[in-house]
Amino acid sequence: MACSMTFLSFINVFEHLIGNNTIIGALLWLALVLGVFKLTIVFLSFGSLLASLTVLPSTSYKRYGLDKGAYALITGASDGIGKEFAVQLAERGFNLLLVSRTLSKLEAIQKELRDRFGIDVRILALDIARDDPANYSAVQDLCADLPVTILINNVGQSHSIPVPFLETTEQELRNIITINTTATLLITKMVAPKLVHNARSLGCHGLILTMGSFAGLVPSPLLAVYSGSKAFLQNWSSALATELASDNVDVQLVVSYLVTSAMSKIRRTSALIPNPRQFVSSTLSNVGRRVGAQERFATITPYWSHALYHFAIVSVLGAYSKLVSTINYKGHLDVRKRALRKAALAKKD
């Protein structure tokens, strides 16, 4: 009752302000309607986010041929998030094709997963930083005659430390672009036809997950090349999702903030920084949903704190706002200064 009276009082005041000016009145009513509509969208999106994190069941991987002897191909599979994807997909019962640079690490993972889960694990060691056509042919050969239904584009590279674009070495620039974009696209081009064929022949769906980043969600000064490469993957992945939808291949970009890994150089977990096991678990449980990426098609920000952070940035601050870019710049500048001081001290020792 009190709420109804308050609302009616608001309407009376609103109409009094309008007076007899029909143009101003129309504009104010339009602003009110649009504001209510926007708030409704925000509340519904937040409700969807909370439902994904709390009550919705985990994704069923029978959709991707789990009960039909299917294989998952994972790049960057020897460490961190890539290795954890391998472990957790093996736990679910998928056979694996693992691609990474270091043969000894791949062989160790191959033995571990075969022994623990009794699955077929095949490996391919190659240096993706070398933009060699033979690399992509080798990936294609690895998939030959196998029921591959999942591709996880996990391989990636960032800057060694935050660095101004004008001071970025040509080699680092080329490595980031080659690994994050060129190799990801060409590997997908080799594997995606297999996913389409196998989805049709097995009567299931295919799945392509590509690792994104908050650096692609918002402009990231002092990580400009890496940020640009991840933003590129955002639009490419969303476009690919539309192209492959009619072929029953699901495509999603996976957005992450910081995760403890060799690339992030972070060792301690926190509420905002999960370990690879926690992050991959949240990803695989929420495939097909958006969670924190409510405003983005074919995109998922799966980990709970990352999801809330993503939602707040987009809904409150604006992903491309000057404020967000400035905050990012100051944070990365501080990291750069500390890294340079540490390097200088190590040089003295």
Which conformational region is residue 248 in: left (phi greater than 0), alpha (psi within -120 to 50 degrees), or beta?
A: left
Residue 222 and residue 286 in one domain: yes
Residue 48 and residue 186 in one domain: no
pLDDT, position 198:
98
User: Is 226 tagged catalytic?
Assistant: yes
Quick: pLDDT tens for 75-98: 999 999 999 999 999 999 999 999
Binding residue positions = 213
Residue 167 and residue 242 in one domain: yes
pLDDT, position 280:
98
Residue 47 and residue 64 in one domain: no
| Neighbouring-strand partners of residue 28 | none
Please answer whether residues 85 and 330 qualify as being in contact, where contact means their C-beta atoms are separated by less than 8 angstroms.
no
Structure token digits, residue 138: 């080798």
Residue 102 and residue 36 in one domain: no
Structure letter (DSSP) for residue 315: I
Residue 348 lies in a domain: no
* Residue closest to 192 by CA, chosen among 155, 139, 131, 124: 139
| Neighbouring-strand partners of residue 211 | 254
pLDDT, position 19:
60
| Backbone φ, ψ for residue 44 (5° rounding) | -65, -40
* Residue closest to 236 by CA, chosen among 198, 167, 189, 271: 189
Residue 347 lies in a domain: no
Enter the pTM of the model: 0.89
Residue 135 and residue 281 in one domain: yes
* Residue closest to 254 by CA, chosen among 282, 278, 220: 282
Residue 342 lies in a domain: no
pLDDT in tens, the chain (349 residues): 555 556 556 556 556 655 666 676 677 768 878 878 878 888 888 888 898 888 899 899 999 999 999 999 999 999 999 999 999 999 999 999 999 999 999 999 999 999 999 999 999 999 999 989 999 999 999 999 999 999 999 999 999 999 999 999 999 999 999 999 999 999 999 999 999 999 999 999 999 999 999 999 999 999 999 999 999 999 999 999 999 999 999 999 999 999 998 888 898 999 999 999 999 999 999 999 999 999 999 999 999 999 999 999 999 999 999 999 999 999 999 999 999 999 999 888 7
Which one of 226, 257, 309, 320 is the catalytic residue?
226
Binding residue positions for substrate = 213
Distance CA 275, CA 80 (A): 9
Residue 180 and residue 289 in one domain: yes
* Residue closest to 241 by CA, chosen among 206, 198, 277: 206
Cα four-point dihedral sign 163, 215, 307, 151: negative
* Residue closest to 298 by CA, chosen among 185, 230, 210, 228: 210
pLDDT, position 43:
85
Cα four-point dihedral sign 34, 36, 38, 41: negative
Domain with 221 in it: what CATH number? 3.40.50.720
Residue 138 and residue 264 in one domain: yes
271 Cα distance to chain centroid: 18
Residues 6+ away with beta carbon under 8 Å from 256 = 81, 211, 212, 213, 214, 279, 301, 303, 306
Burial per residue of 278-290, b for 16 or more beta-carbon CB atoms within 10 angstroms, e otherwise? bbbbbbbbbbebb
Residue 42 and residue 154 in one domain: no
If one counts the domains in the chain, the total is 2
Quick: pLDDT tens for 99-126: 999 999 999 999 999 999 999 999 999 9
pLDDT, position 264:
84
* Segments forming the whole domain that contains residue 139: 57-337
